[in-house]
A and B are shown apart, each in its own frame.
Chain A
Amino acid sequence: MDLNELSVLALWSAMAIYAIAFIAFAIDLAKRSAEVSAASELTASASATAGAAANTTAAAGRAGVTTLTRADPDAPQVQPKRSAVLRVAVALTVLGFLLHLTATITRGVAAERVPWANMYEFAMTGAMLIIATFLVVLTRVDLRFLGTFIVGLVLVFLGIAAVNFYVEIVPLPPALQSAWLVIHVFVASIGTALFALGFALSVLQLVQHRRESIGADLSKLKLKFVATLPSAARLENLAYRANIVAFILWTFTLIAGAIWAERAWGRYWGWDTKEVWTFIIWVIYAGYIHARATRGWRGSRSAWLSIIGFAAVMFNFSVVNLFFKGLHAYSGL
C-alpha cells in the first residue's frame, strides 16, 4: 500500500468515526429534549411559586469580605445534565480528527507538497480545519451543542470530496508553484471554518430568539433541546466573535490573493470570478459588522446576514469553483 492509498483509507476511516460521533451528538440533543420535557412537567406541577429568583445572591466571603455572585442572565433556561454520550461524541470527534489529520498529512507527503491544490484536497484539508477549529474553541467555550452541525457538515464535505472530487496525485502546474499557495489557501480555510461556526451559532440564535419571543412555556416548545442552549443574546455574541476573527482572516486572504495574483497573473485585481465572490463575501460580512452597530439591525437581522454570508462562502467554494469560468481553474476536475 503506498502513502496515497493509506491516505484514502484513513479518510474513509475518519468518516466512519465521524458518522458515529454525529449519531452520539444527535442522541445528546434528543436527551436534552427529554430533559426539557421533564422540566416542563415539573414546573407545571410545582406551580409558579419561586418565580425568577433575585438577580443576585449574596455569598459569604472570608474575613469580613462580602462578594456578590451574579446570576448569568444568558444561562440556559434548563441546565442540561452532565451527559456521558456527549463526552463520547467529543472523544470520537477527536479520534476521527486524528485519522483525518493522518489522511491529510499522508496525502501531502505522497504528493510532496501541501495537500490543498485541487478540490478533493481543499475539501479534505478545509474540513479538517473546521474540526480542528471546533475542537480548539471547545477548550475555551462549551459549544458542544454544535457537534451535530459541525460534524454533520464535515461528513457532507468529505462524502462529496471522496466520491465526486477524488483525483490522483498530479504535480503542481507552474501557476500554483508559490509560497502563496500555502498561505493564501490555508488562511482562507481557517476563515471558512470560523464562518461555519458563526453560521451555526446564528441559526441557533434565530431559533432561540423565536423561542424567547413565544415565552418561557416549555411545553409549547417544538425543538425542546433549544431550552438547554444559552440565550439568543449570548449566541449572537458568540457568533459575532467567530465571525470577526473569520473576517480578519478573510481580509488577509483577500490581500494575500491580490499579492499572489500580481505575481502569477500580472495584476493584483482583475475581477476574476473567484475574486468577485471573495469580494462579495467580504462586503457581506462588513455589512454584518455594521449591522451589529446599527439600531434596528442587531439581533435577528444581523443573524440573517451571517447566514447569507456563509451561504456565499459555500457558493464560492462549490459552484464558483466547479461551474464558473475564470483563472482559478484549479479544481483538478
Chain B
Amino acid sequence: MSRPSDYVDAGAPESDRQRPDAENSNIQQPKLGFAGTLRFIWRQLTSMRTALLLLLLLAIAAVPGSLVPQRSSDPNGVIQYFSDNPKLAPVLDNIQMFDVYGSVWFSSIYLLLFISLIGCVIPRTKHHFDAMRARPPRTPARLERLPAHTEQTLEGGDAGAAIDAAQSLLKKSRYRTELYQGKNGDISISAERGYLRETGNLVFHSALVGMLVTVAVGGGLGYAGQRVVVEGQTFVNTLLDYNSFNPGRFYNPDDLAPYSLSLDRFDVKYEQTNLDAYGQPIDFTAYVTTQTPGGELAERTVKVNDPLRYEGTDVYLLGNGYAPTITVRDSDGTVVFTDSVPFLPQDANLTSLGVVKIPDGLEEQLGMIGFFYPTAQLLDNGAYTSTYPDLVFPVLTLNVYKGDLGIDDGAPKSVYELNTDDMTQLTGGDTGVDSIELMPGQSQQLPGGYGSITFENANPNAEPLPTDATAGDGPATVSTASFDQAVPRFASFDVHRDPTQGWVFLFAMLILGGLLTSLFVPRRRVWIKATDNPDGTVRVQYAGLARGEDPGLVEAVDAIAYRHGTALGLER
C-alpha cells in the first residue's frame, strides 16, 4: 500500500490548504501591499497547518483547568486554594487560572480556531459543490504510472464492448462515469465515487461551528436555580423562592413558569446486607406533587439519574440531608421561632452542620451553630461522631451566641453561615457552659435565661421522651426508642431551563455522522482503458487514485478488474 501522495503534496484541486505553502515563498518578496498583507494573514490563518497548531494549543491550554480548581465547577475548592496558597493564588488569579475555560487566552485560541475553520469550510464547500457537478477528469495517458493499477488482455470482443461493460459495472458500484477517446485509438472511462466523504467532512466541521454557536447562545437563554425543600414544604417556581438563581444574559425572570412543587416524602435506602458497603445509600427518591398554575395536581418522583422534566424545566435531585425541627420559646413560653432547618452533610454518615438564627422576639438576637448526628457516638475526646447515616440515635448539639446577627441591614446572608465576630459565645468552647444537647422530643433551657429550645420529634406517632432533660445528661437517658421519621429530610433541587439543549444534541449527532462518513467512505477515482491490439486481442488497463485515506484502493482496483473479466464472460 502506498501513500495517497496526491492528497497532500500533489495539489488536488480542492486543496486550499496547500496554498499557504506556496504563499510561504512570497515572504521574501518586497511588498505585498496592505490588501496583500491581509490576504496573506488570512491564508495563513485558514491553512491546515495553523488549524493543526491551534488544535494542539487548545489541548495544552485546557490542561491547567484540571490542575487548579475552577470557579465554575468547584468554587469551594478555589476558596480553599486561596487559603492554602495565599502568595500564589492571587498571581494565578491574575492570569485567570481559576476561570480557565472562560479566560481571555483560552477563548482567543478557540475563537481563532473557529475563524480558521470557517475560513476553511466556506471555500471548500464551494469547491465541493463545483466538484459534484463537474465531469470526472480526463484519463491520464499512462495509467501504468499510477501506484494502484493492473491490466489484462482479453481475447474476442473489442474495446468498445469492453468499455460498455466497464461502464455499467462502475455505475452499479455507484461511480460517476465519463467516456473519453484517447489519441492512440483507445477508449477509456473515467470514474469517480465517494463525494460523500467530503460532504461528511464539511457537515462535521460546520456542525462544530453550530455546536459552538448554540452553546454560546444557549447559555444566555436559560437559567439555573437551586432550592432546598424540606419534607412537607412547597417550592414555587418564582425568583423569590429560589435559594440561588443564575439567569442567562438574555433571560427575563418574569418568564418563569409559575408552577409549584411540594416535597411529600424523601426516601433513602441504605445497604443492609453487604457488610462491605453497610450503610451505603443505594437509592434516593423524592416523592413530589406538582401543581400547574391552573391547579392541576400530579404525583411524581425525582431521582438521581432521573430528573423531572416539567413545564419546560428540568428538575434534578442533587443533594439531601436532615432538617431538624427546632422551636425556641421566650421565658414566658411564647414561641418566637419554629422551623425545620437544613443542616449540610459533612461526611458519608451525615454528620451535618447547620445554623439557627433568631433575630426577633428575644431581648437579644441569638445565633446557634450546631451539629446533627443521625447516629451519634461519643468519641474518647468527648466529641460526637455519626456512625450510620440513618436515624438510629439522633443527637443535635448547639452552641449559642448572642449579639448582632448582622442581617438587619438587609444585605443577603447565607443561611448556612453565622458571622460570630460581633457576638458573644454563651455555651461551649471557653465559656464553661455545656453545649446544648438534644434528642428528638427533648427541650432544654437556653443559657442566660433567654427561654427554652426544643428539638421537635417530627413523627406524630412518636412516644414522648422525658421533656425536661437538662444539659449533660440528655441523650444518655434514652436508648430504646425508635426514631424513625423523627427528623425531616430535605432535598436540594437544581432547576434548569436550557431551550438549546435539543440543538446541541442535533449538532452532536451531525458531528458523529459527519465523522463516520468522512472517515470511512473511500473517495477514489478509477480509470479503465481499452485498446484494440493488432492481433485482435484487447488490452484493458485499470488504475485507481485515492483522494484522502484509502487503505482498500489496491484491492478495489483488483476487484474491478476481476469483476470486469467476469462480466465479459471470462472463464475462471
A interface list, Cβ under 8 A from B: 61-68, 70, 73-74, 167-175, 177-178, 233-234, 237, 240-241, 244, 247-248, 251-252, 255, 258-259, 262-273, 276-277, 279-280, 283-284, 286-287, 290-298, 305, 320, 324-327
Contact = CB atoms under 8 A, between A and B. Distances in A.
A273 B66 contact: yes
Contact of B3 (A233, A255, A269, A297): A233
B55 interface: yes
B506 to A, nearest CB: 12
A64 B537 contact: yes
A295 B8 contact: yes
Interface string B108-119: 000000000000
Given A264-B305, A266-B494, A293-B8, A65 B570 contact: yes
A167 B280 CA distance: 15
17 contacts: A62-B571, A63-B155, A67-B152, A70-B150, A170-B276, A175-B305, A237-B549, A251-B511, A258-B508, A268-B501, A271-B73, A272-B73, A276-B63, A280-B62, A287-B55, A290-B51, A298-B3
A68 B541 CA distance: 11
Given A170-B280, A280-B59, 15 more contacts: A61-B152, A63-B571, A67-B150, A170-B274, A248-B519, A264-B304, A264-B305, A266-B307, A271-B65, A277-B66, A287-B59, A290-B51, A294-B49, A296-B49, A320-B66
A258 B111 CA distance: 22
B153 A169 contact: no
Given A65-B153, A286-B55, A290-B51, A177 B305 contact: yes
B55 A283 contact: yes
A325 B77 contact: yes
Interface stretch (B281-289, B355-363, B378-386): B281-289
Q: Which 5 A-B pairs have the closest CB atoms?
A: A170-B277, A266-B316, A168-B276, A174-B304, A287-B55
Interface in B514-559: 515-516, 519, 537, 548-549, 551, 554
A279 B303 contact: no
B512 interface: yes
A292 B55 contact: no
Q: Which of B56, B307, B504 has the most CB of A within 10 A?
A: B56
A267 B155 contact: no
B276 A178 contact: no
Nearest to B284: A174
A251 B318 contact: no
Interface of B: 1-3, 7-9, 17-18, 21, 48-49, 51-52, 55-56, 58-59, 62-63, 65-66, 69-70, 72-74, 77, 100-101, 150-155, 215, 224, 271, 274, 276-277, 280-284, 303-307, 314, 316, 318, 494, 496, 501, 504-505, 508, 511-512, 515-516, 519, 537, 548-549, 551, 554, 565, 570-571
A53 B304 CA distance: 69
Which of A283, A284, A292, A296 lies at the interface centre, i.e. has the most chain B CB atoms within 10 A of its CB?
A: A283
A271 B62 CA distance: 9
B63 A174 contact: no
Contacts of A272: 73
Contact of A279 (B2, B62, B274, B305): B62
Contacts of B512: 248, 251-252, 255
Contacts of B153: 64-66
A286 B387 CA distance: 49
B152 A290 contact: no
B141 to A, nearest CB: 19
A234 B1 contact: yes
Nearest to B505: A259
Nearest to A266: B316
B28 to A, nearest CB: 19
Nearest to B519: A244
A171 B152 contact: no
A253 to B, nearest CB: 11
Contact of A169 (B8, B276, B516): B276
Nearest to B77: A325
Contacts of B537: 64
B2 A73 contact: yes
B501 A262 contact: yes
Contacts of A241: 551
Contact of A263 (B305, B494, B519): B305
Contacts of A178: 305
B165 to A, nearest CB: 15
A183 B276 CA distance: 27
Nearest to B15: A293
A271 B282 contact: no
B282 A172 contact: yes
